[in-house]
Amino acid sequence: MPAQKQKRVLTIQDISCVGRCSLTVALPIISAAGIECSILPTAVLSTHTGGFEGYTYRDLTADISPITEHWKSLGLKFDAIYTGYLGSFEQIELVSKIFDEFKAPGGTILIDPVMGDNGSLYTGFTPEFALGMAKLCAKADVILPNLTEAAFMLGEPYRDEYSEEDIKALLLRLYGLGVKEAAITGVTYKSGKLGVAGFDGKKVKTYFNKRIDGYYHGTGDIYASAFLASYMKNGGKLFSAASKAAEFTVACIKAKQKTGGEARYGVPFELCLNKFTGSDDIIVIPTTM
């Protein structure tokens, strides 16, 4: 039998030296799925920005073009390109070119438009930036905004409550940006439930878990990374990837509840990376915990 080619992913986002988020979760989760994971850091921070003070931040925008020029000389192409936090309009423009130049034929572009949460944009982002991100999303195969990011990209006011019909309308508008598939995270219109709603161009489906109280840093990045891994392992199935990633993220949060520790350091996803097999089995918490 001919050898099966290992898939190669490029993920483009910042890296925090301490605190489980962005590249420090994307690289191990995708690698655990048996997928080669290449990285392109957009910035390097001493810690992430949630709950820490005095952190250092170095913008790496100036390094992106020299890195990609070298890659061109190697003839590199990627089966998937996955973006997270992008910190400027210039980075959006550079990433748009990377999509054009480095996506392999039949490859997948996944955008997690990290900009805000709970009805507000993160510090440094503006409504104009959100519209720029929406333009980039037109090149994506799949996008994974939360409710806040979806509202800002569509130029709509954020609401505290969304009905099932509201969510469907948002998904259809996101699809109208030019994406092939869209999923919104943080959906809640069932009491005590929190989940994700997706649209694959034909139908809308939702997947819910029991709501877990509290705020857990980095879980959005964990979700997006697990989503991409499952999506690639299972032939690009949106709804399967959405549910598997949710199950994994919930497992990581439950592991945090068992192990304790400061919330700002994120959840111990490492303890849940015991199974990424050739099937679409999702990682589970070890029974020895």
Is 282 a domain residue? no
Q: How much is the pLDDT for 2?
A: 59
Is 1 a domain residue? no
As a whole number, the mean pLDDT across the chain is: 91
pLDDT average, residue stretch 201-209: 94
β-pair type (120-121, 78-83): unpaired
| pLDDT, tens digit (0-9, with 9 covering 90-100), for 54-73 | 999 999 999 999 999 999 99
Residue 282 banded pLDDT, cuts 50, 70, 90 = very low
Is 289 a domain residue? no
Residue in this structure with the two tokens 């161009």, named with its chain if needed: 201
**Alpha carbons 285 and 150: distance in angstroms, whole number:** 31
Contact 119, 90 (CB under 8 A): no
In a 10 Å sphere around its CB, with 0-12 CB exposed, 13-18 middle and 19+ buried, how is residue 58 labelled? exposed
| pLDDT, tens digit (0-9, with 9 covering 90-100), for 6-26 | 999 999 999 999 999 999 999
Model confidence at 5: pLDDT above 90: no
Q: How much is the pLDDT for 37?
A: 97
Q: How much is the pLDDT for 285?
A: 42
pLDDT average, residue stretch 168-178: 97
Which two structure tokens, joined as six digits, stand for 280? 């679409």
Torsion of CA 96, 223, 210, 272, to 10 degrees: 180
Query: What is the 3-state composition of the chain as percent helix, strand, coil, each rounded to the nearest 5?
Result: 40, 25, 35
Is 38 a domain residue? yes
Domain that holds residue 184: 8-272
Residue in this structure with the two tokens 């000389």, named with its chain if needed: 73
Number of domains the chain contains: 1
Instruction: Give me Rg for the CA atoms of the chain.
Output: 18
CA 52-57-60 angle, 5° bins:
145
Q: How much is the pLDDT for 283?
A: 43
Is 283 a domain residue? no
pLDDT average, residue stretch 256-284: 75
More confident residue, 189 or 20: 20
Q: How much is the pLDDT for 216?
A: 85
Q: How much is the pLDDT for 14?
A: 97
Q: How much is the pLDDT for 50?
A: 86
CATH of the domain at 156: 3.40.1190.20
**Residues found in the chain:** 289
Is 203 a domain residue? yes
Is 278 a domain residue? no
Task: Report the helix count and the strand count for the chain, using DSSP H and E.
Answer: 8, 11
pLDDT average, residue stretch 130-156: 97
Residue in this structure with the two tokens 């994974």, named with its chain if needed: 144
Q: How much is the pLDDT for 123?
A: 87
Is 2 a domain residue? no
More confident residue, 277 or 89: 89
